[in-house]
Structure 1
């Protein structure tokens, strides 16, 4: 029996690989969205999340909610909380994928920087939200 990348994806983990693929294919737009939302709200709304249920859409994950979840899972998300606290929006994108009762950290440093991505994409936050949610719905089947 072979293990590793040749092993078929289980239904429970399929959303993770689909989300990884989506993020890789849409780094510029996601970086633009993250920067646009940062300009509008800073971190006072929390961390941007991608909730896959019932259909993929963006949400905010308030710091208090992440901390409460961490407490509920016996501090297994402590590393995630540290990453959120040290997030540098001018150089990296940080989002939380939420699906199937699990969370997945999405973190990358786009080239060019998020601010430049926002300028180059040329869409406002509402336009980016609509575009990305439509593309997520097509790319991620949960």
Structure 2
């Protein structure tokens, strides 16, 4: 009844690869998210993102840019804005994945919580960024 096109398989592929990357690196992603949150301050309204093009790398997604995109797509991202509003960085990690001109919201609650993950990582934010971006380049073949 429903057929999967080559395009659909490509879209699902990057999404499933991103899911696997996140699953395999939850503790360090939580440490990174918390470290960046502390570094940038509580008033910062940027969301950590992963852009897969031209090669996987971390970015910041500014709240005004997400709101503008939501407006352009007839409020189809309204739920994402609600999730951003309710996000608690002390308990959960929230990432926006961007690939194939699409977005994917990734949210998880690590055990232990992000502040403890950062303490246990025993390294700085820049080292975490470099380490995770290197793993993304190895694991995400988009």
Alignment-derived partner of residue 10 in structure 1: 9
Deviation >4 Å, runs of 4+: none
Alignment-derived partner of residue 104 in structure 2: 104
When the two structures are superposed, what TM-score results if normalisation uses the length of structure 1?
A: 0.92
Equivalenced residue count is: 136
> 1:80 and 2:80 equivalent?
yes
**Cα pair 1:45 1:60 within 8 Å, conserved:** no
Alignment-derived partner of residue 128 in structure 2: 128
Task: Find the aligned partners of 1:77 and 1:30 in 2 and give their Cα distance.
Answer: 24
RMSD of Structure 2 on Structure 1 (CA): 1.5
**For 1:44, what is the secondary structure of its paired residue?**
coil
Structure 2: gaps spanning 5 or more residues: none
Task: Find the aligned partners of 1:10 and 1:137 in 2 and give their Cα distance.
Answer: 20
Task: Find the aligned partners of 2:11 and 2:27 in 1 and give their Cα distance.
Answer: 28
Alignment-derived partner of residue 62 in structure 1: 62
Task: Find the aligned partners of 2:72 and 2:34 in 1 and give their Cα distance.
Answer: 31
Structure 1: gaps spanning 5 or more residues: 4-8
**For 1:85, what is the secondary structure of its paired residue?**
helix
> 1:19 and 2:18 equivalent?
yes
> 1:30 and 2:29 equivalent?
yes
Matches within 5 A, 1:84-95: 84-95=84-95
